[in-house]
Amino acid sequence: DAGVTQSPTHLIKTRGQQVTLRCSPKSGHDTVSWYQQALGQGPQFIFQYYEEEERQRGNFPDRFSGHQFPNYSSELNVNALLLGDSALYLCASSFDEQETQYFGPGTRLLVL
């Protein structure tokens, strides 16, 4: 039973560029959430997707957008990258919003 997978594992971008991160949920899960974890901090909730729609959003600007596909996989897009966007981006999946979230290994993004 495959767990949550994320790609790529590492990424280096320059300011102003755009990035797309990908996530495949755990088998049987239909809800995907994205988090940003800056160095030395706890994860911060970006948004959650369910049935291909954004159901809940944290305090992140519109530069952060996402998508969920019919197979429940998801993408996180960040436009106009800033140095402060450098972080570990974690994807978590669950069966329904109420259930325990299981996390992927994360994508480490470095913005230069």
Partner 1 sequence: AQKITQTQPGMFVQEKEAVTLDCTYDTSDPSYGLFWYKQPSSGEMIFLIYQGSYDQQNATEGRYSLNFQKARKSANLVISASQLGDSAMYFCAMREGAPNTGNQFYFGTGTSLTVIP
* Interface contacts to partner 1, rule CB under 8 A: 33, 35, 41-45, 48, 55-56, 58, 88, 90, 92, 96-98, 100-106, 108
Nearer to partner 1, 80 or 102 (CB): 102
Look at the alpha carbons of 101, 68, 8, 59 in this order and tell me if their dihedral is positive or negative: negative
Q: How far is the CB of 63 from partner 1 (least distance, A)?
A: 19
Residue placing its CB nearer to partner 1 in the complex, 13 or 108: 108
Tokens found for residue 99: 């259930």
- Amino acid letter at 36? Q
Q: Report the half-sphere exposure of 54 (CA within 13 A, side-chain side).
A: 14
CB of 62 to partner 1, least distance (A): 18
Closest CB to partner 1 among 25 and 104?
104
Q: Are 39 and 87 in contact (CB under 8 A)?
A: yes
CA 31, CA 19: separation in Å to the nearest integer? 22
Instruction: Tell me whether residue 78 or residue 90 sits nearer to partner 1 (CB atom).
Output: 90
Q: Please state the closest distance from residue 83 (CB atom) to partner 1, in A.
A: 20
CB of 110 closer than 8 Å to CB of 52: no
Closest CB 16 distance from partner 1, rounded Å: 26
